[in-house]
Amino acid sequence: MTVAVILMIAANALYVAAEFATVSARKSRLNQMAVSGNRWAKMLLPVVEDKDALDHYVAACQVGITLSSLVLGAYGQNVIAVALAPLLAEWGFFGDVVAFSVATTLVLIVLTTLQVMLGELLPKSIALQNPERLALLTVVPLRWSQLLFRPLIWLLNGSGNLILKVFNIDFHEGEESVHSPEEIELLVSESHEGGVLDVQEQQLLRNALHLRQLIARQVMIPRTRLIAAPISRRVDDLLRLATDHGKTRIPVYETNIDNIIGFVHIKDLFRLHLAGEQDPQAVVRPVEQIPETLPILQVWDRLNRKHQYLAIVFDEYGGTVGVITFEDLIEEIFGEVQDEFDVEAPLMTADDTGRIHLRGELLVADVNDYLDLKLPEDRADTLGGLVFNAVGHLPEPGDEVTLGTPEVKLRVETVEHHQVTEVSLLRPDGDLPHVEEWEARRA
C-alpha cells in the first residue's frame, strides 16, 4: 500500500521536474553541452529548439502528472479508504457509511498534502534551481513516456488546437522565445550580482546594449572642437596643424566649414612634403557625411562597410555640426581611450566641500545613470548643454540652475567660447561616488 503511494508521488514529481526543468533550461547551455559530447544534451536539444517538439514534450509531462494524480486518488479512495473505514467503525465512533465517508476524506487530505508538497512544490523548486541538470536526468524517462502516451497526446493536443481554431486563434503565431535588450541587461545585472561578471565586464555589456539608444549628435565631436582647414592651405601648414593637435586626419573645406569636401591624411602630407609639393588637393580623400540623427549602430555599419575612420555630421539645414570617428564609437563601449598625446580633464572629480565636478560633454543620461539623478534628458544631450539652456543667457562661471526631481542645484564652473565645459553639483543624499567606480562604469 505504501509502495503504491510512493510510486505515484514519485511519478508525479518526475513529470513536474521534467516540465519545469525543460522549459527553464537555457538553449545556449544545452548546445554547449551537446557540442562537448553529452549524449543526453544531444537528445534534449532538438526538443527545446523546436516549438512543436517542445509542445509535444510538455504535453507528455502534463499527461503523466494527470494520470499519476488520478491513479493516486483512485487508489486512496478504493483501497486505503476501504481498509481504513472498518477500523473507524470498529472504534465505535461512526456507522459503516459515515466511517467510509470520513475515511475517504482523511485519505484524500493526507494524499493531497503529500502530493502537493513532495510531488509538486519540491520538484518544481529543485528544477528551477538546476534546470539543465534536471532536464537531462529526466529526458530518457520522458522519451519513453512520449511513446507510451502518444495516442493521448495526439487526442488532447488535437482537441486543444481545434478549440483554438474555433476561436480564430493562430497557435503558431507569436514571438520567438528570445530576449529583448532590456531582458539581456537584466540578465547581465543578475550575473554581476551573482558574482559571474565583475564591474568592468558588466559595464562593457551594458554599454554595448546602450549603443542602440544613441544617435550621432550624442557621440560626435562638436563643431566648436572640430579641427579643420581650408583646402587652400599649404602642406606645411596642414602638417603643423595636425602635429599641434595630435591628429592624423584633417578635414578640409572650400569657402567655409559648412562645405567640407574631404580630408587629408598625415602620411600623404609627409609624402608631399618630402617631394617638395605644397598643394594638398592631390591627396584629398572623400569623407563620409551623415545626419546628426542617424542611430549609432547605423553609423558604425556605414563606416565599417565603406572602410572609413571618420564622418562629418550635418544638421537639418545642411550645416556642419561636428565630426564622429571610430574612436568615438569604441569609447562608447570601452570608455575613454587615451594615448600619450591625449591630455584631457578627468570625467569626474570631487572637491573637499563635497561638490562633484563633471565635464560638460558628458551625456545627461550617463550622469543620471551613475549618480542616480533624474535630470531632464529631453532638453539637451550633454550636461553642459542642459545647463546652458536652463541659464537663459550666455553662461558665466558661478551661474546656478536647479533641475530634476528631487531638485539638484547645478553650478557653472568653466566656460570656453560660450560653451559650458565644467559643471559641479551636490547630490541630494550628500553621498560622494568613488571616482574609480565611475571610471569602471564608463570603461
Segment 163-178 shows an average pLDDT of 64
CA–CA distance, 395 with 409 (Å, rounded to integer): 15
Query: CATH number, domain at 380?
Result: 3.30.465.10
> CA-CA distances (angstroms) from residue 376 to 154, 244, 298, 385?
57, 38, 26, 11
pLDDT at 212 (0 to 100): 86
Sequence-distant (6+) residues with CB within 8 A of 360 are 382, 383, 384, 385, 387, 414, 419, 420, 421, 422, 423
Would residue 171 count as lying in a domain?
no
- 222 and 203 in a common domain: no
How many structural domains is the chain composed of? 4
Would residue 342 count as lying in a domain?
no
Nearest to 86 by CA among 99, 74, 76, 69: 99
| Bridge partners for 311 per DSSP | 288, 324
- 157 and 13 in a common domain: yes
- 310 and 239 in a common domain: yes
For 341, phi and psi rounded to 5 degrees?
Answer: -95, -15
- 221 and 188 in a common domain: no
Which residue, 280, 305, 334, sits at the end of a domain?
A: 334
Would residue 239 count as lying in a domain?
yes
- 204 and 102 in a common domain: no
Q: What is the pTM of this model?
A: 0.62
CA–CA distance, 384 with 361 (Å, rounded to integer): 6
Would residue 373 count as lying in a domain?
yes
Nearest to 146 by CA among 47, 57, 245, 44: 57
Would residue 203 count as lying in a domain?
yes
- Is the pLDDT at 256 greater than 90? The verdict is yes
pLDDT at 443 (0 to 100): 45
Q: Which helix (H) or strand (E) holds 238?
A: helix 235-245
Task: Please tell me whether the peptide bond between 295 and the residue prior to it is cis, using omega within 30 degrees of 0.
Answer: no
- Tally the residues of the chain: 443
Which residue, 305, 334, 363, sits at the end of a domain?
A: 334
Sequence-distant (6+) residues with CB within 8 A of 356 are 348, 349, 350, 371, 424, 425, 426, 427, 432, 433
Query: What is the largest distance, in Å, between two alpha-carbon atoms of the chain?
Result: 123
The larger pLDDT score, comparing residue 47 to residue 157, is at 47
Contact 127, 15 (CB under 8 A): no
- 288 and 156 in a common domain: no
Would residue 241 count as lying in a domain?
yes
Query: CATH number, domain at 267?
Result: 3.10.580.10
- 421 and 303 in a common domain: no
- 398 and 301 in a common domain: no
Q: Which helix (H) or strand (E) holds 51?
A: helix 51-75
Q: What is the mean pLDDT of the chain?
A: 85
Per-residue pLDDT band for 286 (boundaries 50, 70, 90) equals very high
pLDDT tens-place string over residues 350-373: 887 778 899 888 888 888 888 888
Contact 422, 345 (CB under 8 A): yes
Sequence-distant (6+) residues with CB within 8 A of 103 are 80, 81, 82, 84, 85, 88
> CA-CA distances (angstroms) from residue 156 to 267, 290, 424?
74, 58, 67
CA–CA distance, 231 with 248 (Å, rounded to integer): 16
Which structural domain range is residue 85 located in? 2-166
Contact 76, 114 (CB under 8 A): no
Q: The cell 560653451 sits on which residue?
A: 419
Would residue 297 count as lying in a domain?
yes
Highest mean pLDDT among 8-22, 87-101, 416-430: 8-22
pLDDT tens-place string over residues 305-346: 999 999 999 999 999 999 999 888 888 888 766 555 555 567
pLDDT tens-place string over residues 27-64: 888 888 988 889 999 899 998 888 888 888 999 999 99
Which residue, 301, 334, 367, sits at the end of a domain?
A: 334
- 29 and 135 in a common domain: yes
Would residue 173 count as lying in a domain?
no
pLDDT at 431 (0 to 100): 60
Nearest to 204 by CA among 191, 223, 216: 191
- 286 and 138 in a common domain: no
State the DSSP string of 411-440: EEEEEETTEEEEEEE--TT-PPPPHHHHHH
- 29 and 103 in a common domain: yes
- 152 and 129 in a common domain: yes
